[in-house]
Amino acid sequence: MSFSEILIIIINFAGALAVFLFGMKLMSEGLQKIAGNRMRSIMGKVTGNPLRGILTGTAVTTVIQSSSATTVMVVSFVNAGLLSLAGAIAVIMGANIGTTVTAWIISLFGLGESSSAFSLPMFLGAVALIFMFTKSDKLRFIGEFVIGLALLLFGMGFLQQAMPNLEEYPQALETLARLSGYGFWSIILFIAVGALLTCLVQASAAMMAITLVMCYNGWIGLDAAVALVMGQNIGTTITANIAAMVANTNGKRAARAHLVFNVVGVIITLIVFRPLMSLIANITGGMVGSDPYTAVGAAGYNPNAIPMALSLFHTFFNVFNTFILAWFIPVIIRIVNWLVKDKPEDEEYTYKLKYIGSWMNTAEINMQAAEREITEFSKRVLRMYTFLPPLRTAKDDDEFNRTFERIEKYEEITDRMEMEISQFLTRISEGDLSHQGSQRISAMLCVVDNLESIGDTIYQIAATRKNKRQTAVHFDQHLNDNLAQMTQLVAHALDIMDANLDSDYDHADLEQAELAEDEINKYRDHLRDEHLNALKSGTYDFAIGNAYSSLYALYEKLGDYVINITEAIAVKFK
């Protein structure tokens, strides 16, 4: 085989794989857009019940057709404290089951000459949906899904065509035969190859497609193909572990749990390998009328037998291991706790994005990550607000200056958080978004801007307090009590804002937020009227009055930013 022939084969193979992956991406994104925000709601309802977690993981992965995406989402949820580690492990187990749907789609529709017969009618139907029902987002998303599925099937056809006929290259056949001739060690070898290639390709679905085509063309036997699939299950865990590099301790543990589950599952399968393969062969024989172990060209050989057996194995592998290991979730937790030790560290002044460190190719998942980052932003702002009362009660300049420096550092952090989250949201908005998705991005940008403004206003209050202290301006008890009351009213509004950001945006409590804002405005009006009367009567001098009015005005201004946030998510997320 000449260099030019090898190059042409590689280019054709890469192009076919690109078509397959692009179809997979379109299909996945279409399904996620159809599901919308419901995926997050479903995931958020997972409790400590392992069965519910497994079913949730299966359902979500069946919808989005990506176990890696589900697992990354799980890591993010654990990182945010929305999922317990036990619940996360159950969801990951279900995700492994859900991802087997891809193999069945390929086996039933994507191999052989029949694939093109399905693809072209799909294209016709999808184009009709997209161009005839332009006002319906849901129908357009269904059209995108169908186009993705059609491209996936086209890609499978191109992969089959790109694969060279090894009968023309006997040396290659001899090499494969030799690699398959070491008995149990051949199984281990192919597991390692499957894991390595999946780590490199970062798409277990693509590796499954390649394996199925190799089986269909008779390149490898059933045992080698099964070993590749087991290796792919190990290799696919790398995505979640990469995402967990920027996660907290529990997020890292969830990612390690995915790896532990798949490695232990492979070990269990190897223990019962021969009986299991006999069972798979018998079931396949009953379904397609041919033994998947029949040699290529021998009597009774059916090219569909091995792909069908492989799909059966993939499903059985994940269902069987989930059934066994679901009873040992506490043991898995102990293992990952040992693998990832607790690291006590003061993160008060350490700034790093927790949830948007990894970019996913799906807007919905990126938006969920941004929402969790915004929640973290809100928590940071609320913590910053608690530093204001100690400024008033500081016993000496050293205590005051330490508190003021904390507020300064937090203000710098809020500036960076606003910039980086906004950049991430802008990047999402540059993709293909529905009208609802664009509204959500707009709302989140508004939220981020107002959170940063809250941080600035808290700093301005602190700076006013510092100036008051330096100029020896003193308030009497009545003025201090008034400002303490205003502080409490704003704190209540902040708590409502934080609760709305920490929940499903679709159910933001606008009524309570408006009531809190109304209380702040009424009290501000009361303080202003009282202040003007005090100035007229000479109750206190101009320096005291100026500092006092500046403070209650800043608190009221802070309340305006708070209500802007709830209004943004309550209106634009409907």
Q: Between 114 and 205, where is the model more confident?
A: 205
d(CA 368, CA 445): 14
pLDDT digits (tens, 9 = 90+) for 206-226: 677 777 777 777 777 788 888
For residue 163, give the DSSP letter.
S
- List alpha helices for 386-434, DSSP H: 388-393, 397-429
pLDDT digits (tens, 9 = 90+) for 355-372: 675 555 566 667 877 888
Tell me the three-class secondary structure of 70-131, residue by residue: HHHHHHHHHHCCCCCHHHHHHHHHHHHHHCCHHHHHHHHHCCCCHHHHHHHHHHHHHHHHHH
Average pLDDT over residues 455-482: 91
pLDDT digits (tens, 9 = 90+) for 4-57: 766 776 787 677 767 766 776 676 666 566 655 555 555 555 555 778 888 877
Res 571 pLDDT > 50 = yes
Q: Note if the pTM is more than 0.75.
A: no
d(CA 553, CA 540): 18
